[in-house]
Amino acid sequence: MRSFIKPRKKRLLDRMSALWLSFIILVSIGLIVFGVIIHYKSSFYIKMLDSLQHQNATTSKEVTNLSKKVMLINSQKKIYDEVEKTNDVLKVSMKNLFDLIPDQITLTSVVMERNSLLLKGYSISKEAYTLLLQPPLKSIFTKSEVKFSKMKDAKVEFESFNTIQPQKVEK
C-alpha cells in the first residue's frame, strides 16, 4: 500500500444488476431446493413402493402357504371327521355286536375288518349258537360261515367268519 488512504470498497455490479442477480440466484436456489425435496420425496416414495411390493410378495407367499395349510387342515379335518364317523359307526357296530351276543355264548376274540367279521368263542351248545347268534349275523352279513369244534367241558368252540359284499355304487 503506497497511498496515504485505503481505496473504497468497490461493488462488482451496479445496484440494479446486483438486485437482479440476487433475485435470480434466490429463485434458482429455491428451485434447486424444491428439486432436491422433490427428488428425495420421490425416491422416498419409490423406496416405500418397493418395500410395499416386497411386503406384498411375502404376504401373498404367506397367503399361499396359509391356504395350503388350510387345505391340509381341511383334509385332515375331513379325515378326522371320517375317522370319527367311522369310529362312531364302529362303536355302534361294536355295541350292536356285543348286544347281539347272548349270555350263553362267550367271545374270545373279535377281528373286525371293513367287510368282514371274525368271531371266536365258545358256546354252551351248537344249537345255542345257531338259534341265538346265527340269525342276527345272517341278517347283517351277506355270507356267514361257521366252524365248530368240541371242547373238553361239553362246550362248543366256534369260529364264525362273516363277510359283507360291498355295495355297487350306482353310476
What sections of the chain are H helices per DSSP? Answer: 15-100, 126-128, 134-140
Residue (5 or 154) nearer to another protein, CB: 5
Q: What minimum distance in Å lies between the beta carbon of 19 and another protein?
A: 13
The β-bridge relationship of strands 116-123 and 105-112 is antiparallel
Pick from 5, 152, 167, 171 the residue near another protein by CB under 8 A. Answer: 5
3-state secondary structure labels for all residues of 72-87: HHHHHHHHHHHHHHHH
Q: How far is the CB of 60 from another protein (least distance, A)?
A: 59
Of residues 9 through 48, those in contact with another protein by CB under 8 A are 10-14
Computed on alpha carbons and rounded to an integer, the radius of gyration of the chain in Å comes to 48
Among the listed ranges 2-10, 28-36, 53-61, 116-124, the one in contact with another protein (CB under 8 A) is: 2-10
Stretch that binds another protein, among 3-11, 43-51, 109-117, 120-128 (CB under 8 A): 3-11
Q: How far is the CB of 9 from another protein (least distance, A)?
A: 10
The stretch near another protein (CB under 8 A) out of 6-14, 26-34, 46-54, 62-70 is 6-14
Neighbours of 59 (CB within 10 A): 12
Which phi and psi (to 5°) does residue 134 adopt? -55, -50
Compute the distance between CA of residue 103 and CA of residue 41 in angstroms, rounded to an integer: 90
Given the rule CB under 8 A, which residues bind another protein? 1-5, 7-8, 10-14
